[in-house]
Amino acid sequence: MIEEKKKEELFFAGLLAYEEKDFFEAHEMWEELWSEYYLDDKTFIQGLIQLAVSFVHLGNGNLKGAKSLLKKSTDKFSSYSGLHRGINIDKLKQQIVIIKNEYEQLLTVEGFDWTHIPDLRNI
């Protein structure tokens, strides 16, 4: 029971950090959840980690890394649909396509519109 509580705490701590645009911290929380516990949806959590790290790379000026991790996250979400852990996966996938298209248009990371970052709780 304590383990289940810890898993929930890590998931929601990652979600909160993500909402606060602290993508590195979100990655850290979800990475601990992913690596330390058995999860039925391990692939989904890995997709969230990769999505967050894509934005970490973008913030660090690494457009190539951002594109790579966004693609990897898309692959991880491919077998999910509907609502999962309170996140609308279908809308998330649509928003990832928008981000992917924006990444493709960028010449430098400074041109990225950060308002396109998916709001995981409100999609």
Over residues 51-96, the pLDDT tens digits come to: 999 999 999 999 999 999 999 999 999 999 999 999 999 999 999 9
- Asked if 73 and 48 count as a contact pair (C-beta separation under 8 A), the reply is yes
- In this prediction, residue 12 has a pLDDT band, given cuts at 50, 70 and 90, of very high
As a whole number, the mean pLDDT across the chain is: 94
> CATH second-level architecture of 2-116?
Orthogonal Bundle (1.10)
What pTM did the predictor assign? 0.94
- Asked if 18 and 54 count as a contact pair (C-beta separation under 8 A), the reply is no
The residue assigned the tokens 């979800």 is: 30
Answer yes or no: is pLDDT of 35 > 80: yes
Q: Alpha-carbon torsion 98, 103, 106, 111, what sign?
A: positive
The packing angle between helices 42-59 and 2-19, to 10°, is: 30
C-alpha separations of 69 from 65, 82, 90, 110, 122 in Å: 6, 22, 19, 18, 23
* 121 vs 27, more confident: 27
